[in-house]
Structure 1
Amino acid sequence: MTVELRVDATPAGRPALVLRPWDIGDIQPLIAAYHDPVLRKWTRLPVTGVEDAARWLEIQWDGWRSGERFSFAVLEEDRGRLVGNVAVKRGAAHGDCAEVGYWTAAEVRGRGIAPRALEALTGWAFGSLDGVTRLELLHQIDNVASCRVAEKTGYAYRRTLAARPPFPLDGHQHVREAPR
Structure 2
Amino acid sequence: MTEIRSATEVLRVPAAGAAGGLVLRPWRAEDAETVIEAYGDPHIARWTTRAIEGPEDARWWLDLQRRGREDGTRLAFAVCAERLGTDDGAVLGNISLRWNEDTGREVAEVGYWTLAHARGQGVAPRALEALSAWAFEAFAQDGLRRVELLHQVDNLASCRVAEKAGYRFERILPAYPPYPRDGHVHVREAG
TM-score, normalised relative to structure 2: 0.90
1:156 aligns with 2:168: yes
Indicate yes or no: 2:98 matched with 1:89: yes
Q: Is the 8 A contact 1:161 1:173 kept in 2?
A: yes
Q: Does 1:120 align with 2:133?
A: no
Find out whether 1:135 has 2:144 as its counterpart.
Answer: no
Q: Distance in 1 between matches of 2:118 and 2:189?
A: 28
For residue 139 of structure 1, give the secondary structure of its aligned residue in structure 2.
strand
Letter in 2 for 1:6: R
Partner SS, residue 88 of structure 1: strand
- Aligned residues: percent identity? 52
- 1, 11, 25: which one pairs with 1:5? 11
Q: 1:45-124, aligned counterparts within 5 Å?
A: 45-78=50-83, 80-92=89-101, 94-124=104-134
The structure 2 residue matched to 1:31, chosen from 36, 42, 49, is 36
Tell me the matched-pair count: 178
- Contact residue 157 and residue 174 of structure 1 kept, 8 A: yes
**1:40 & 1:145 partners in 2: Cα distance?**
14
Q: CA deviation at 1:45?
A: 2.4
Quick check: 49-58 or 122-131, which moved more? 122-131
C-alpha separation in 2, matches of 1:30 and 1:163: 27
Measure, in 2, the Cα distance between the counterparts of 1:162 and 1:29: 32
Q: Does the aligned pair in 2 maintain the 1:29–1:82 contact within 8 Å? A: yes
Instruction: List per-residue Cα deviations over 1:107-143 (Å, max 9, x = no partner).
Output: 1111100000001110111111221110000000000
1:44 aligns with 2:49: yes
CA deviation after TM superposition for structure 1 residue 147, in Å: 0.3
2:112 is aligned with what amino acid?
Answer: Y
Inter-partner Cα distance in structure 1 for 2:49 and 2:77: 17
Deviation, 1:23, is: 0.7
Gap regions ≥5 residues in structure 2? 1-5
**How high is the TM-score relative to the length of structure 1?**
0.95
Measured on the aligned residues, the alpha-carbon RMSD in Å equals 1.2
Q: The residue matched to 1:169 in structure 2 has which SS? A: coil
Gaps of 5+ in 1: none
Q: Deviations over 1:63-96 (max 9, x none)?
A: 1111111000001112711110000111236231
